[in-house]
């Protein structure tokens, strides 16, 4: 009995509380390292999140060997505060992660490694200012541009601007260089803009482009939208 009483004096409620805190800290640190460094740790995320569509998408990309925590870093105290106090919507969380993800992207993709494409040069300053690569790229499908250009660029203005290229073409035609149309409207052109089937039939019959479109009588319509990356992705 004396031993029990002596133990009670040593193991006070305050000591028990401190021990519980230490156990919780050790468990949290162990959980963090497991999630952060275990290649199969994405299964932990699946305990709360439906990961099926994301796993299926990312498994087909170069990011298939990356765990969720490699990009979605877990800051447990901050996470607890946000969830309990702020309780944000999924949309708000996604917007916040877009900014956080910018730094995560640069950890593996430094600017020096970017492909030297015109489209990158034009958008690099914007991405750096907004700190958001996901404006164009979906990390779960990094090989494709996830956002259409018309998300930011008004399509009617883009078409009108591009149709203005014909001012240059007409100036060349006026000098007798009728093959100028082929610089854009032939399969072997550097900047290929497809034409309608009636144009192909006419060209096959020997009718030059100016035979229908000149002298500036027939409009170049209907204008069709094609993949911007066909030219701007080079």
| pLDDT tens-digit readout, 116-167 | 777 777 787 787 787 778 778 877 776 666 566 777 888 778 777 777 788 8
Lowest mean pLDDT among 106-110, 145-149, 157-161, 200-204: 145-149
- Phi, psi (rounded to 5 degrees) for 141: -145, 65
Average pLDDT over residues 154-181: 81
Judge whether residue 189 has pLDDT over 70.
Answer: yes
Of 64, 82, 96, 47, residue with least CA distance to 55: 64
pLDDT score, position 93 = 67
Q: State the Cα–Cα distance between residues 150 and 86, nearest whole angstrom.
A: 34
Q: Is 173 helix (H, G, I), strand (E, B) or coil?
A: helix
Q: Is 113 helix (H, G, I), strand (E, B) or coil?
A: helix
Average pLDDT over residues 68-88: 68
Q: State the Cα–Cα distance between residues 120 and 143, nearest whole angstrom.
A: 14
Average pLDDT over residues 27-52: 63
pLDDT score, position 39 = 44
Judge whether residue 47 has pLDDT over 70.
Answer: no
Domain limits of the chain?
Answer: 38-147, 155-232
Confidence of residue 43 (pLDDT cuts 50, 70, 90): low
């Amino acid at each position: 009995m004396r031993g029990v009483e002596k133990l009670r004096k040593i193991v006070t409620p305050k000591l028990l509380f401190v021990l519980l805190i230490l156990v919780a800290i050790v468990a949290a640190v162990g959980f963090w390292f497991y999630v952060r460094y275990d290649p199969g740790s994405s299964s932990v995320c699946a305990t709360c999140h439906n990961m099926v569509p994301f796993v299926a998408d990312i498994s087909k990309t170069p990011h298939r060997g990356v765990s969720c925590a490699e990009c979605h870093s877990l800051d447990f105290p901050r996470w607890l505060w946000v969830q309990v106090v702020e309780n944000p919507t999924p949309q708000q969380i996604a917007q916040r992660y877009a900014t956080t993800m910018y730094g995560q992207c640069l950890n593996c993709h430094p600017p020096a490694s970017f492909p030297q494409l015109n489209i990158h040069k034009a958008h690099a300053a914007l991405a750096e200012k907004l700190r958001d690569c996901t404006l164009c790229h979906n990390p779960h499908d990094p090989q494709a541009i996830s956002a259409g250009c018309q998300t930011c660029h008004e399509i009617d203005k883009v078409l009108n601007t591009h149709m203005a290229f014909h001012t240059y073409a007409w100036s060349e035609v006026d000098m007798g260089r009728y093959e100028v149309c082929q610089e854009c409207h032939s399969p072997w052109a550097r900047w290929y803009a497809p034409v309608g089937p009636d144009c192909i039939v006419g060209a096959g019959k020997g009718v030059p482009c100016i035979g229908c479109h000149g002298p500036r009588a027939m409009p170049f319509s209907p204008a069709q939208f094609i993949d911007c990356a066909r030219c701007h992705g080079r």
